[in-house]
Structure 1
Amino acid sequence: MAGTQDASSSSSAPSLHVVVFPWLAFGHMIPFLELSKRLARRGHAVTFVSTPRNAARLSAVPPELSARVRVATLELPAVEGLPDGAESTADVPPEKVGLLKAAFDGLAAPFAALVTAGLSGRGGGEADGFERRPDWIILDFAQNWVLPIAEELKIACAMFLIFPAALLAFVGTKQSNEAHPRRTTEDYMAPPPWVPFPSTLSYRRHEAEAIAAVFRPNASGVSDMDRLWQLLHRPSCRLVIDRSCPEAEPRLFSLLTDLFAKPVVPAGLLLPGDAADDEAQPGSGDQPFEAAARWLDEQPRRSVVYVALGSEAPVTAGNIRELAAGLELSGARFLWALRAPRGEPAAALLPGGFERRVAGRGVVVAGWVPQVRVLAHAAVGAFLTHCGWGSTVESLFGFGLPLVMLPFVSDQGLIARAMAARGVGVEVPRDDGGGGSFRGADVAAAVRRVMAGEEGDEMARRARELRDVVGDRVRQERYVDELVELLQRYKSAHWV
């Protein structure tokens, strides 16, 4: 990859031993693993911590990095009500994610034992860096119990946030929320008062109702916001690292550094590599893709809308029917990676005769699709997406594709507002009075706007320009270099 360093070209500073510990969701684990690989390419030893089943489902570490990246697994404790074998958010319905967090909290003692033991094991020698005490623990938003362990062992901590800086700016500090309490749904529908410049930081009503819930305790007994704030406000969390960059999100990093009184720094976007890199991602053995790939090869350049709403968006059967109606009505060519709601066969959710009526111009794949491979294909001209940050990074910043945007939860609405403001996509209208429902006719209109006419051409041009600036691979790798310099500088800071 352009700009990537290896051990021979890294700085003369001593190599680091970094423990990397993501939350149990593939949207978190995959970026954490990407960061791990980039640190390893620069000569540092990385211990990636997860549970056995998740470790088995993640893509393999490249052979050239196997001496520097090791995977340590911790057995997830049983929790009443959590299904047997559930080790990630992909294994449970949304209403049981709080129970998964409760089980995750049970990893505190095993994690402490793992770190205290020096993490000796595979690879063996001092040369690979694993037999010495870790210099850093890079953790996710959920492990509010890691900092006391790290403080006792005098190991520096950093938080790595896989969502855009915009979400952290919207959340704000605990003190800013106490000074400006948000008590009603409407309070979440306006930009926060601690952002001193005009912004798109606001939610639609149905999104606001969902975001308000993360401020309330869940089945783990703790709210997600309290977990985050407990980490952010302790001095032993020395850095906040975000999967973003100033080119993607102007003005926010300096604002957040001032707001949280500690460095909030970019890791860069951790852009995917070659299109073949995702052939071994989670679920890649579930469904054959080659028939759809052959169809895609036969389509004209930039003529196909790729449709994918992520693996965990709360998509209902009604959403699928309206989306199908919109794709049919649009007249556009499309490739749809359809993930049905849990326990429902995908084909049964489509309108009767749908696949027959769209035959030749539309393909539905009910299972895993190699997303990076599809986004890189010359036939793909736009992406109908839920606006997850990972999907936005891959499609817009990685390949310059304009967006048809259908956000559901979390940071997705903020991302959709920001991308619409930059003129690189169109958001499908929603009925805020009806819980965020949408109509097929509105899907069709949004697809036509992005795929046809002068407006579509202009959005495509802006998307390519944004890719050229934000997706510059050399600059993106330089953010990782700068992050390593900060890790070297802050690892031995005075303990408070």
Structure 2
Amino acid sequence: MDRTEKLHIAMFPWLAYGHIMPFLEVSKFLAQKGHRISYISTPKNIGRLPKLPPHLSSNITFVELSLPRVHGLPSGAESTSEVPIDKVPYLKKAYDQLQVPLTEFLKNSNVNWIIHDFAPYWLPGVTAPLGINSVFFSIFNATSFVLMGPPSVLLGDVRKRPEDFTVVPEWIDYPCNIAWKLHEIVNHQQCMDDVSDFQRLGLLIQGCQFVTKRTCYEFEPDEIKLLIKLYQKPVVPLGLLPPSLPSNEDERDEKWEAIKSWLDTKGEKSVFYIALGSEVNLSAESMHQLALGIEKSNLPFVWVVRKRPMGEGQMDNHQDIIPPGLEERVSNRGLVLRDWAPQLQILAHSSIGGFLTHCGWSSIIEALMFGRALILFSGASSDQGLNARLLHGRKVGLEIERNEVDGSFTSDTVAATIRQVMVEPEGETIRSNAWAMREIFDNEELSKNYLDEFNRFIEEFTPSVSHNQV
């Protein structure tokens, strides 16, 4: 295509904050290149997005599609953070009903490309007749998708039982010991509806022009090459999309000022940070074991405790998430924060040495940007367990041992793992390896090069826009 012709690109993320933000980052980059962006989501999710820089606002239009009401979905819920895991299938049903308004929009908007997430399995049937090209953008890394397999496996019945996911699959052609634990795959199956996540992925991989992922060859060379072989189509890494720290004007936040004052009193790399994301929902028993392990480590910490939506018949035990008396006992070395904290600023602070994480890929990228060693505690959903194994294997973190069947663990194991990662001599390799990861994860030039290559691929892949002018 003529490089001077600019494209109209629609963005259609899944209804989760961890998906919505990377899609916005890519939108901003493409808008900088002069392309016209239609960012499509529901009113509530669009309302939560940060304000666009003035120079980009003319190239990005937010398109609000009202989420249909579905029996079983809590009233007003529009994202995964607002529902317990067993209600996520209803969110998927509501999302699938966006097919009609989305089709109407695409028919009338001269869109050249749509960049979509893992969920809208029906999209190829909409875009193909309209002559719209599609890119499947997964916010996950390549490892997790290698483990899921090619479309023939995703759409077949090779894996009939949960146990089938707990072994390394035969199509992996490089040394690998990564697989799900039984409790992880059983837990994740709770959030699937009649059309499983695997079916959704299989249909979208088959139906798109190419796949892009939030990764890079410097971190996952074998995995990306294998995906190209498995999919028989281009897989174009998008880079790691490392987020930017807020500018000084944005930092004038009383909550951050208080946290910063506390961190300023601690020694370099002496504090570990704990955050389990917005969607991990542990039982009271597990939460207490984790809390007691944190206490037993005898190390300074910052812990963000988030309240999760309750499932049917569950008690709202927000006050019981942390064992009685714990905050008083650790008040001289522990800071417990409720519901939200400025994670990037905390991780960037020089007194932070480690991160006890649920292993969401975005959180891992944020930690390794600053070279923080990882205490890996899988949130037991989607890619999180696979990430835990990947990073444990790369020796940039240590996974907290858990029972493979039910996910249980002890406070003693938690404390020992924290201490090994943070201070024990045998954790020195982990600490130095994590520190070295900054060269990849906090490399602005590398990140920009991948985005430039992605943009070039979209521009050159497009056969012609003459029939569909912007």
Give your verdict on TM over 0.5. yes
Q: Return the match for 2:241 from 270, 281, 292.
A: 270
What percent of counterpart residues are identical? 38
Q: Residues 86 and 190 of structure 2 are in contact (CA less than 8 Å); yes or no, is this contact kept in structure 1?
A: no
Counterpart residue type for residue 326 of structure 2: F
**Gap regions ≥5 residues in structure 2:** 311-315
The number of residue pairs the alignment matches comes to 459
User: TM-score, normalised on structure 1?
Assistant: 0.87
Counterpart residue type for residue 202 of structure 2: W
Write out aligned runs for 1:75-90 (5 A): 75-90=66-81
**Pairwise CA distance, 1:179:** 7.8
Distance 2:57 2:259 in 1: 34
Q: Residues 18 and 46 of structure 1 are in contact (CA less than 8 Å); yes or no, is this contact kept in structure 2?
A: yes
The CA RMSD over aligned residues, in Å, is 2.4
After superposition, give the CA deviation of every residue in 1:234-279 in whole Å (9 maximum; x if it has no partner).
Answer: 2xx1010101111222211111111111101101011011245996
Q: Residues 189 and 202 of structure 1 are in contact (CA less than 8 Å); yes or no, is this contact kept in structure 2?
A: yes
Q: Residues 81 and 278 of structure 2 are in contact (CA less than 8 Å); yes or no, is this contact kept in structure 1?
A: yes
Distance 2:13 2:293 in 1: 37
Q: Return the match for 1:222 from 189, 195, 210.
A: 195
Counterpart residue type for residue 184 of structure 1: R
Counterpart residue type for residue 484 of structure 1: N
Distance 1:205 1:276 in 2: 43
Q: Where does residue 232 of structure 2 map in the other structure?
A: 261
Residues 1:15 and 2:6 are matched in the alignment: yes
Q: Return the match for 1:32 from 11, 18, 23.
A: 23
1:493–1:206 distance in 2 versus 1, CA, 3 Å: farther
Q: Residues 289 and 365 of structure 1 are in contact (CA less than 8 Å); yes or no, is this contact kept in structure 2?
A: no
Q: Where does residue 231 of structure 1 map in the other structure?
A: 204
After superposition, give the CA deviation of every residue in 1:215-234 in whole Å (9 maximum; x if it has no partner).
Answer: xx61xx31111111111112
After superposition, give the CA deviation of every residue in 1:279-325 in whole Å (9 maximum; x if it has no partner).
Answer: 69xxx99x945433321222111111000000002322222211110
**Pairwise CA distance, 1:13:** 3.9
Q: Where does residue 281 of structure 2 map in the other structure?
A: 314
Distance 1:78 1:352 in 2: 40
Distance 1:493 1:415 in 2: 39
SS state at 1:63 partner? coil
Q: Where does residue 124 of structure 2 map in the other structure?
A: 147
Write out aligned runs for 1:370-449 (5 A): 370-396=342-368, 398-407=369-378, 408-433=380-405, 435-449=406-420
Distance 2:376 2:249 in 1: 23
Counterpart residue type for residue 187 of structure 1: D
**Gap regions ≥5 residues in structure 1:** 1-10, 119-132
After superposition, give the CA deviation of every residue in 1:421-442 in whole Å (9 maximum; x if it has no partner).
Answer: 1111111010224x10111111
Distance 1:360 1:116 in 2: 61
Q: Where does residue 59 of structure 1 map in the other structure?
A: 50
Distance 2:398 2:151 in 1: 34
Q: Return the match for 1:361 from 318, 321, 333.
A: 333
Distance 1:261 1:277 in 2: 46
Q: Return the match for 1:348 from 301, 317, 320.
A: 320
Distance 1:169 1:19 in 2: 27
After superposition, give the CA deviation of every residue in 1:374-424 in whole Å (9 maximum; x if it has no partner).
Answer: 11111111100011001011111x111110000022111111111111111
Distance 2:80 2:190 in 1: 17
Distance 2:75 2:24 in 1: 25
Counterpart residue type for residue 287 of structure 2: I
SS state at 1:251 partner? helix
